[in-house]
Structure 1
Amino acid sequence: MYGLKLAMTALFSGAAYAASAGDWRGRSIYQVMTDRFALPAGSDLSSCNVQDRTWCGGTWSTIRENLDYIQGLGFSAVWISPINQNWQGGRTFWGDPYHGYWVQDVSMLNEKFGTEEDLKALISELHRRGMYVMVDIVVNNVMATSRTPDYSPYMFKDASLYHSYCPLDERNTTSMYACWMGDEHVPLPDVNTTHPTVVETYKTWIKELVTKYEIDGLRLDAAKLVEPSFWPVFCESAGVFCMGEVFSDNVPYVAGFQSQMDSLLNFPMQSALTKAFATNGAKNMKAIGDTLQSIQSKFSDATVLGNFLENQDVERWMRYSPDVETLHNAMAFNFMSDGIPVMYYGQEQGFHGTKDPENREPLWHSGYALTATYNLTAQLNKVRTHIVSTTDWATSKSTIIKTDTSYLALMKGQVVSILTNIGVSARADLTATVATPYRTAMNLTEVLTCKTMNVPAGGSITVNYVNGGQPAIFVPTTLLKGANICFKEEGVALTSALASSTVSVSSTASISSTVSVSSAVSSTASVSTTASSSIASPSSAASVSSAASASAVVSDSKASASTTSGSASHSTSAIIISTTGVPTGITSIANNAANTPTVEAAHGASTTRGISISILTASSTTPSASTKGDASSSFPTTSVSSMVVLSTKEASTTSNSPTSTPTATYNASPSKGSSGAVEQSVKAESTAAPVPTTNKPGKCTKRVSGGKIDKARGCRIRV
């Protein structure tokens, strides 16, 4: 993840403060509930029961101390809870204002979250990393415990600056602008945002707030309940990007608010994605195309809408759709279509709470695991950030180029995404065939598995679902140059030359990624399991990597790998290169003038563990091997009969047992995996993105026995 962090900093550095809609368009946002993200070091990590509806201890400082976790996900902006003083009158019928939305005096900070210096330090650190901050703003109402409150503790102390009590009826426009949210236990007095004193006070306040803390953007709470004349004046005074909350799936209605502010949270598309992908939805893929077309025709700029699946007011996706691949496909749509991706904290951990308060879980209960969804998010962000920075992709319009009952294909710029609602279950009977504008023989990379293909005559792309319904995103390989996505980067160079029946592998210096060279067998080849190996160099000791299925791309009868101190020979029919930890490998092969194939290495997140070279041959059994010095996991792999590993890692040994399961060196490469893949977590001292300092779980191991995977301390897994 370190490479991702450095790339993000380089791309976005110097851009913070007074950010416009254009500045935000290429960003992605991670929404944090400040009280629930991280605890101070030494705190009780078992604390925080959401049913208590009370403070759990998260602060601005604990967010700052754990930004590596967010930046490891690839996000370039953080949306934090309202920062203003909340209700000071003690616990209420509905608990305490841990969420930040029960504002009392907006001119003061929320002391539960920290001091002025703490907030400045958080924002300063975000800016240092090239990241933006979005602050949640509540101006429509304050909070009380009576319908005749004493307004003296509030910023607006005169009762004439509030609307008189009336129950809110959202079916009536007059009621929406003048009546109160809340109930008899916690009424929310409605501020009169047409009163000149209120307007001028808010204008001055927001300008000073943004300037003092160098805020980059605002999320406007309950935007539809404020008089339309207020927001343009308010946002102009703020001088930064404004994204409003209008809780409705009615496209024309929500679109009408874009004349008042830069952007809206995309509730209409969130509703359509639920209908199309969720296991309890209608499985109506057509809803996405219909909604997208309506959005593009009604909104003045759909490319700055906030695309989300979860937030603090709706159920978690995994609550009503507990199939992780439905989540992954819906996520891929939000990242690869028009708009700004927004992820609510905990989505990457598979949280499954219902509505308030169950959807406001403490993140530390997850152990900050680097799950499959975490890694997918990082890869989606990495791909999106690169194409935004090198093409006009962010401002181009998405087009649905095919819709089926089980899948759809989306094209934006030169990127084609093929998404399905079938979930984790394998569907050998289903194939998605999509006609595209790609020219014949153009080389494409599917960036979630890092497989490449040449576009066949006619320009159609085909995706099968024999391993379940993973999303697929195709990018012209030429667009990935310099992206550090899938191919050799950061000083790593691997070459292969086909001479008679021998393939030689050599590596250059300046090693910064773990790369595996594996062999796969074509359907026409016979396989011999005989092998010989010799590894006897103090500088090139044995270690382990694992690879799952991969496409055969070079056919030959024998392959050998060699270093200056050892060689191995295996009968095989193909050779591929994949990054350790990525379940399916990628090979990019081009014949030069001498008809010699060049194999380029797949590359996910950077690490400093060195090069691993693995030679595998197919059979019905699996080898055994061990690692040293890394957080590790056991993985069921595709069948192989023998493995030899050459590596620059510290000394360890490799065995060739035909009946045991290989142990894989952990690499925080963003990877998808096939259905049933293990979601991984690592030790705090591993080379993956650093986990927060408040939680340092023990070594995470997983044991495979009889096809079942057992939990161990600190792990989150799925099967």
Structure 2
Amino acid sequence: MRYTHVRLRSAILAAIISCCIAACGSSDSSDQLALQVPSPEWRDQIIYFILTDRFNDGDPTNDNQGAGEFDPTNNAKYSGGDIRGIEQKIAYIHGLGATAVWLTPPVANQWWDPLVNYGGYHGYWAANFEQVDKHMGSLDDYRNLSSALHKSQMYLIQDIVVNHTGDFFFYDGAWNANNPALGWSRNTASVPVTAPTQAPFNMDDATDPAQRAADIYHWTPDISDFGNPDQLFNYQLYGLDDLNTENPVVREALRSSYGYWISTVGVDAFRIDTAFYVPQAFFSDFMYANDPAAPGIRQVALSNGKASFLAFGEGFVTDAPYQNASSVKIESYMVDPSGADILPAMLNYPLYGTLWDVLTQRHATAELGYRIQDMMQVFRRPYLMPTFLDNHDVDRFLAHGTMAELQQGLLLIMTLPGIPVIYYGTEQAFTEQRGAMFANGYASGGRDHFDTAAPLYQFIAQMANLRKNNKVLSRGTPAILDQDSAGPGAFAYKMSYQSTVAIVAINTSDTAAVTRTFATGLPHGTALESSASVGASSSLSLVVGVDQTVTIAMPPRSAFVWLTAR
């Protein structure tokens, strides 16, 4: 009964808000919450990705819930960042040039898992998909953040999980597929609850015949072979209880749960965690289901005035040089075999992998040329795919890369197709993967890190401004102009959009300056103005010669952007 009530409530809320939008328009007066705003042109956006617990502590009273889960000296425990802390730093984020904030899941979580001696401060171990975690704040805090972002002409992206809940049960080694009760054990020391609190996800006891028959979960042990598709889709990922996403009841509950955040908070987009551990067919249902009680996410978004709701999945795979098998797999989550759309986008992990190899591992720049050309061919919507240099699942770029390499990477993602993502703290030269920006948080060094005069903050702001003011950088078609197949060195490409052209060039060599002449395809006499540079004191404008070429001199680890005059 409670579950049915929740699904109906979501649908009713969507209908009410839709009527309000139709009657009053999508904008609110200054003294009202601005929750439901039209979708932006996503390819023109720049995302700032926040691990909420480590960003800013806006309300110290919610830091410690008294369950032993809070300790800012311990990376495994809560540090105190919250939703109110994000709202307090909107001006800082806006000044960096970001137009959207992506925050880790704010939902009620398992706070501590004694089986792995780690906490759910990151938000990916849900106990209730429709409640705000007490450490993160309140529903009102979340609605206020959404409104404040919208009033600043910014957008809200919520990280979501559909593959699993927290780690509330496990198998002790006696697992038998034909007898799921055998070896099943409750994680009795889990904090603050030992089972999900939301129906139907609370039906997780395989020893209860009724709960076992409900089939809400895959009654399975941990994945031991990640190359086995059956294990990938149906077994537990590092102990996290695997949801049976083939079950219509589970599908309805997940649609209802996440539609709730769109209707109630005004969320503008989703990032979907661990998408590769769920069959593609689930996402077709999740996005497009025609169910009046729990409609697909696209329909919920449309009913709230968001015609281009973005949902991008995580497929954590990269490709070997000059290979694209992983890219093809990523595309299979955006377009099904019949050509129908599934998810609007996926994170561009193959580009991330190639950027790392070329910029830091001295690989041939031709590998980057291949990757750019391949992503434009394999992916139907490359402009909607978020691009990035690091995140909470991989090492910080500066943990192993240099400042010059990072600046080159930033310049590249700001001038290539895709939605650039800046991981919180990059602008402050962080090397700690999940270090805190605020003084009392983990690995902060006892001080705040919101310095708008920091060199990387200023550089990112400059590049973001360049991208936003020149649509050729967010909408242009890339063409490779120059590359080196033998190793590090020169790389150049052209971006073309309508009547505007940009030329981007880098030198990945640490020691050798290079001078390169290459054809541009532009008419003789075309002038290109210097717009941005890295590793050079100045950059002269370019003029296309009689033979349609330009000659560029590039110091080691330099990078440049030129634009045709407008």
Q: Normalising TM by the smaller chain, what interval?
A: 0.7 to 0.9
CA deviation digits over 1:355-395, x for unaligned, max 9?
A: xxxx101123363233222112111111111112xx6x544
Structure 1 position 318 matched with structure 2 position 398 = yes
Once the 2 structures are TM-superposed, how far is the Cα of residue 119 of structure 1 from its aligned partner? Answer: 0.5
CA deviation digits over 1:393-414, x for unaligned, max 9?
A: 5443212111024021021111
CA deviation digits over 1:36-55, x for unaligned, max 9?
A: 11123899xxx975644111
Structure 1 position 165 matched with structure 2 position 244 = no
Structure 1 position 464 matched with structure 2 position 546 = no
- Rate the CA distance shift 1:18–1:41 in 2: closer, same or farther, 3 A: closer
The answer for the alignment partner of 1:235 in structure 2 is: 287
The answer for the alignment partner of 1:178 in structure 2 is: 234
In structure 2, distance between residues paired with 1:292 and 1:400 = 8
Once the 2 structures are TM-superposed, how far is the Cα of residue 139 of structure 1 from its aligned partner? Answer: 1.5
3-state secondary structure, aligned to 2:332 = helix
Does the CA-based 8 Å contact 2:514-2:554 persist in structure 1?
yes
Q: Which amino acid aligns with 1:238?
A: I
Among 146, 153, 178, the alignment partner of 2:197 is: 153
Q: Which amino acid aligns with 2:493?
A: L
In structure 1, distance between residues paired with 2:364 and 2:391 = 23
Structure 1 position 437 matched with structure 2 position 521 = yes
The answer for the alignment partner of 1:289 in structure 2 is: 369
Once the 2 structures are TM-superposed, how far is the Cα of residue 462 of structure 1 from its aligned partner? Answer: 3.3
CA deviation digits over 1:657-711, x for unaligned, max 9?
A: xxxxxxxxxxxxxxxxxxxxxxxxxxxxxxxxxxxxxxxxxxxxxxxxxxxxxxx
Q: Which amino acid aligns with 1:258?
A: M
3-state secondary structure, aligned to 1:229 = helix
3-state secondary structure, aligned to 2:407 = helix
In structure 2, distance between residues paired with 1:98 and 1:267 = 24
3-state secondary structure, aligned to 1:437 = coil
In structure 1, distance between residues paired with 2:230 and 2:244 = 12
Structure 1 position 363 matched with structure 2 position 386 = no
3-state secondary structure, aligned to 1:144 = coil
Which range is displaced more, 75-84 or 393-402?
A: 393-402
Q: Which amino acid aligns with 2:97?
A: G
In structure 1, distance between residues paired with 2:437 and 2:552 = 36
- Rate the CA distance shift 1:471–1:199 in 2: closer, same or farther, 3 A: same
Does the CA-based 8 Å contact 1:16-1:130 persist in structure 2?
no
In structure 2, distance between residues paired with 1:421 and 1:48 = 42
Which range is displaced more, 50-59 or 67-76?
A: 50-59
Among 411, 414, 417, the alignment partner of 1:332 is: 411
3-state secondary structure, aligned to 1:137 = strand
Q: Which amino acid aligns with 2:436?
A: P
Among 347, 352, 377, the alignment partner of 2:431 is: 352
The answer for the alignment partner of 1:31 in structure 2 is: 49
3-state secondary structure, aligned to 2:91 = helix
In structure 2, distance between residues paired with 1:28 and 1:176 = 32
Structure 1 position 272 matched with structure 2 position 290 = no
- Rate the CA distance shift 1:320–1:90 in 2: closer, same or farther, 3 A: closer
Within 5 Å, which residues of 2 pair with 1:64-83? 64-83=87-106
The answer for the alignment partner of 1:533 in structure 2 is: none
The answer for the alignment partner of 1:512 in structure 2 is: none
3-state secondary structure, aligned to 1:104 = strand
Structure 1 position 396 matched with structure 2 position 472 = no
In structure 2, distance between residues paired with 1:99 and 1:350 = 21
Q: Which amino acid aligns with 1:171?
A: G
- Rate the CA distance shift 1:396–1:16 in 2: closer, same or farther, 3 A: farther
The answer for the alignment partner of 1:109 in structure 2 is: 132
In structure 2, distance between residues paired with 1:406 and 1:89 = 48
3-state secondary structure, aligned to 1:161 = coil
Within 5 Å, which residues of 2 pair with 1:239-254? 239=298, 240-249=309-318, 250-254=326-330
- Structure 1: segments with no counterpart, 5+ residues: 1-11, 354-358, 479-719
The answer for the alignment partner of 2:250 in structure 1 is: 198
Once the 2 structures are TM-superposed, how far is the Cα of residue 72 of structure 1 from its aligned partner? Answer: 1.1
Higher relative contact order (CA 8 A, sep 6+): 2
The answer for the alignment partner of 1:301 in structure 2 is: 381
Which range is displaced more, 123-132 or 84-93?
A: 84-93
Among 499, 509, 512, the alignment partner of 1:422 is: 509
The answer for the alignment partner of 1:59 in structure 2 is: 82
In structure 2, distance between residues paired with 1:310 and 1:110 = 26
In structure 1, distance between residues paired with 2:284 and 2:367 = 32
Within 5 Å, which residues of 2 pair with 1:605-684? none
The answer for the alignment partner of 2:5 in structure 1 is: none
Once the 2 structures are TM-superposed, how far is the Cα of residue 208 of structure 1 from its aligned partner? Answer: 2.2
Among 465, 473, 493, the alignment partner of 1:410 is: 493
In structure 1, distance between residues paired with 2:524 and 2:279 = 55
In structure 1, distance between residues paired with 2:271 and 2:59 = 30
Does the CA-based 8 Å contact 1:16-1:131 persist in structure 2?
no
In structure 2, distance between residues paired with 1:35 and 1:381 = 26
Q: Which amino acid aligns with 2:363?
A: K
Does the CA-based 8 Å contact 2:384-2:418 persist in structure 1?
yes
The answer for the alignment partner of 1:655 in structure 2 is: none
Does the CA-based 8 Å contact 1:326-1:422 persist in structure 2?
no
Q: Which amino acid aligns with 1:440?
A: H
3-state secondary structure, aligned to 2:464 = helix
Q: Which amino acid aligns with 1:60?
A: I
Does the CA-based 8 Å contact 2:60-2:80 persist in structure 1?
no
The answer for the alignment partner of 1:135 in structure 2 is: 158
CA deviation digits over 1:114-142, x for unaligned, max 9?
A: 11111011110100010011000012101
Does the CA-based 8 Å contact 2:104-2:159 persist in structure 1?
yes
Within 5 Å, which residues of 2 pair with 1:533-548? none
Q: Which amino acid aligns with 1:438?
A: L
The answer for the alignment partner of 2:321 in structure 1 is: none
User: What percentage of aligned pairs have identical amino acids?
Assistant: 23
In structure 2, distance between residues paired with 1:329 and 1:79 = 23
RMSD of the alignment, in Å? 2.5
3-state secondary structure, aligned to 1:261 = coil
Q: Which amino acid aligns with 1:57?
A: G
Among 470, 490, 496, the alignment partner of 1:387 is: 470
3-state secondary structure, aligned to 2:157 = strand
- Rate the CA distance shift 1:251–1:66 in 2: closer, same or farther, 3 A: same
Does the CA-based 8 Å contact 2:272-2:311 persist in structure 1?
yes
Does the CA-based 8 Å contact 1:180-1:190 persist in structure 2?
yes
3-state secondary structure, aligned to 1:130 = coil
Does the CA-based 8 Å contact 1:50-1:361 persist in structure 2?
no
Does the CA-based 8 Å contact 2:334-2:344 persist in structure 1?
yes
CA deviation digits over 1:192-233, x for unaligned, max 9?
A: 011011111222222222111111000000001112111122
- Rate the CA distance shift 1:434–1:328 in 2: closer, same or farther, 3 A: farther
Structure 1 position 123 matched with structure 2 position 146 = yes
Q: Which amino acid aligns with 2:58?
A: P
Structure 1 position 217 matched with structure 2 position 296 = no
Q: Name the larger-Rg structure.
A: 1
Does the CA-based 8 Å contact 2:427-2:454 persist in structure 1?
yes
In structure 2, distance between residues paired with 1:337 and 1:75 = 16
Once the 2 structures are TM-superposed, how far is the Cα of residue 84 of structure 1 from its aligned partner? Answer: 0.7
Q: Which amino acid aligns with 2:129?
A: V
Once the 2 structures are TM-superposed, how far is the Cα of residue 88 of structure 1 from its aligned partner? Answer: 4.9
In structure 2, distance between residues paired with 1:138 and 1:19 = 24
